[in-house]
Amino acid sequence: MEYTQLGRSGLKVSRLVLGTMNFGPQTTEDDSHAIMDHAHEVGINFFDTANVYGWKKGEGVTEQIVGRFFAKGGGRRERTVIATKLYGSMGEGPNETFLSALNIRRACDASLRRLQTDYIDIYQMHHVDRNTPFDEIFEAMEVLRAQGKIIYTGSSNFAGWHIAKAQECARRRNFMGLVSDQSIYSLVKREIELEVLPACEDYGLGVIPWSPLHGGLLGGVLRKEREGKRRLTGRAKDSFDEVREQVEAYEEFCEEIGREPAIVGLAWLLHQPAVTGPIIGPRTMEQLDSSLDALELVLSDKELLRLDEIWPGHRTAPEDYAW
């Protein structure tokens, strides 16, 4: 396993991030625990979750599964860099959603209980809250850090200017601010190259791509469809018709270089600036094991150029759309 520092922090994390969103809704608790144990065995130390995962309002189903995993002992918690998120609604009350100082305090305590730990390594804002000033947010985070409940703060789904605004607020407060941002990023979805990636590079944030295979669209979907193994759903189904020709060219390219499409998609992300590691969300042990091959794949300049031809990206703004 390869390790890298998370942004400008001194924290060392694996270059693949174990996403837990399927734990509960699609993967049983026993299988989820087995996957997490195996992740440790192969060197993955970075796990990502969120208080809303499990999709039963207020229950934090996935966090509870992870918490019972930690409670088994054997160094499971100590070997894990655990990141969780808040923002989404956890109840019917007006202050059980978003990023008010009150909700930050309550949500953190609730996540700690469910995760059966006394600290969260990276406490992330799941989305930007346009109605709460960053001074209030960071003051609440500073209190949690002083109490030893969190160590680092991160964001998710922020625009480049949100990152800049947050970091300048943190600078004024003599607070470290954000160390990472989770953003949708893949060969199919490259808009963060306009401003989010440059902002993260400039401010020293590690980038953690989610949906790195765009819901399976980059996972050899045409071949699987021909073999009757998988039907398109969700994000992949919604965008398939408009990118079918690109998917065909992509799968042909992967066949030419003798690599599975999913591995190429993950490996491409590992070649991108500021990317710490993509979030993989395995439903099974086999999916976890297959993802590891991405760490060994070094794409040549010629291969990277061919991927850019199939899936055109963006230059940094404003050069992307102006001189």
Check whether 229 has a pLDDT greater than 70: no
Domain count, the chain: 1
In a domain, 219, yes or no: yes
Residue 295 lies in a domain: yes
Confidence of residue 223 (pLDDT cuts 50, 70, 90): confident
180 occurs within a structural domain = yes
**CB neighbourhood size of 89 (10 A):** 14
The domain in which residue 113 lies consists of 3-310
Is pLDDT of 230 > 70? no
- Asked if the structure places residue 315 within a domain, the reply is no
- In-domain check, residue 13: yes
Q: What is the pLDDT of residues 262-283, one digit of tens each?
A: 999 999 999 999 999 999 999 9
Residue 271, Cα to own-chain centre: how many angstroms? 16
| pLDDT tens by residue, 14-54 | 999 999 999 999 999 999 999 999 999 999 999 999 999 99
Mean pLDDT score of the chain: 96
pLDDT in tens, 105-149: 999 999 999 999 999 999 999 999 999 999 999 999 999 999 999
- Residue 322 falls within a domain, yes or no? no
Task: Give the pLDDT band (50/70/90) at residue 160.
Answer: very high
- Its pTM stands at 0.95
Catalytic residue numbers read 53
Q: What is the pLDDT of residues 283-319, one digit of tens each?
A: 999 999 999 999 999 999 999 999 999 999 999 999 9
pLDDT of residue 231: 67
Whichever domain contains 40, its CATH number is 3.20.20.100
Please indicate, yes or no, if residue 316 is contained in any of the structural domains.
Answer: no
Residue type for position 9: S
Write the pLDDT tens digit of every residue in 181-206: 999 999 999 999 999 999 999 999 99
